[in-house]
């Protein structure tokens, strides 16, 4: 049993290793005390800090023997327990789930950071648009009137385009937090739905921008060609 410990590192199951080697990895700081570990006999992956035998060595008194079932020979050798064929598959599945949760745990702060950064960017663009609207009456009076009107609107539109991704990223981070608390499949589905909404918006926005750039290029090339043709005549 002491040779059958497994642990999660960088989202991947490692091992098996001896109990002493695992305790040394934790004691030297190569693995955190909260590292997820498993061995045959445990119902699921558990933090090492919650397992007594992976803490300090204690000389506990031997547990009293349980009374033998009626009719059983006390001197009968224990029968070997056959491991089912499904145990390795179950172990791999649990390791995969633990690795996915660890990856989502590492993703959450970045999603939150980008969501908050988007909100800050939206606020700055709105402030710049308002400032340009007021300044167009003063120092920017020499600027063409269409440009004085268009620039504030452009900044407002740029801020508006950032609202959906900021909402999706903050929603994604919140749903990851709920998933890490509950480990419920429905919370995982909600987190992935928020992630899908974010990438769907990014894809549509990128496609629209490519089409707009292509349209601008066509207009510029057409205008240049029309001007060149007019000079010849």
Q: 21 lies in a domain? A: yes
Number of folded domains that form the chain? 1
Q: 134 lies in a domain? A: no
Q: 104 lies in a domain? A: no
Given this model, what pLDDT does residue 139 score?
53
DSSP 48: G
- CATH number assigned to the domain comprising residue 46: 3.30.1490.40
Length of the chain: 233
Given this model, what pLDDT does residue 154 score?
83
Structural domain including 15 reads 1-55
Tens digits of per-residue pLDDT, 145-157?
666 677 778 878 8
Tens digits of per-residue pLDDT, 82-128?
444 444 446 666 667 788 888 888 999 999 999 899 899 999 888 88
Q: 10 lies in a domain? A: yes
Q: Two tokens at 156?
A: 């407002």
Contact 161, 205 (CB under 8 A): yes
Q: Dihedral of CA 88/94/100/105: which sign?
A: negative
Q: Dihedral of CA 197/198/204/205: which sign?
A: positive
Intervals of the chain under pLDDT 50 = 1, 56-63, 80-89
Q: In sequence order, which residues have a C-beta less than 8 Å from that of residue 45 and are 6 or more positions away? A: 8, 36, 37, 38, 94, 95, 98
Q: Is the peptide bond before 84 cis (omega within 30 degrees of 0)?
A: no
Q: Two tokens at 86?
A: 């499904």
Q: 153 lies in a domain? A: no
Q: Two tokens at 24?
A: 């040394």
Q: Whole-prediction pTM value?
A: 0.53
């Amino acid at each position: 049993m002491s040779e059958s410990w497994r642990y999660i590192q960088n989202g991947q199951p490692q091992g098996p290793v001896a109990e002493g080697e695992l305790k040394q990895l934790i004691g030297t700081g190569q693995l955190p005390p909260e590292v997820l570990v498993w061995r045959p006999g445990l119902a699921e992956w558990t933090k090492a800090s919650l397992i007594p035998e992976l803490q300090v060595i204690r000389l506990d008194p031997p547990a009293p023997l349980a009374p033998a079932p009626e009719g059983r020979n006390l001197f009968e050798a224990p029968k070997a327990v056959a491991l089912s064929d499904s145990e390795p598959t179950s172990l791999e599945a649990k390791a995969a789930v633990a690795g996915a949760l660890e990856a989502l745990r590492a993703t959450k702060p970045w999603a939150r950071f980008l969501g908050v950064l988007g909100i800050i960017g939206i606020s700055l663009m709105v402030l710049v648009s308002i400032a340009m609207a007021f300044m167009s009456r003063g120092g920017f009076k020499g600027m063409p009137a269409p440009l004085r009107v268009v620039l504030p609107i452009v900044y407002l539109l740029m801020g508006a385009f950032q609202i959906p991704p900021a909402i999706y990223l903050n929603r994604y981070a919140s749903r990851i937090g709920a998933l890490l608390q509950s480990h419920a499949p429905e919370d995982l589905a909600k987190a992935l739905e928020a992630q899908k909404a974010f990438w769907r918006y990014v894809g549509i926005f990128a496609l629209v921008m490519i089409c707009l750039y292509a349209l601008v290029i066509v207009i510029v090339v057409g205008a240049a060609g029309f001007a060149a043709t007019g000079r010849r005549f």
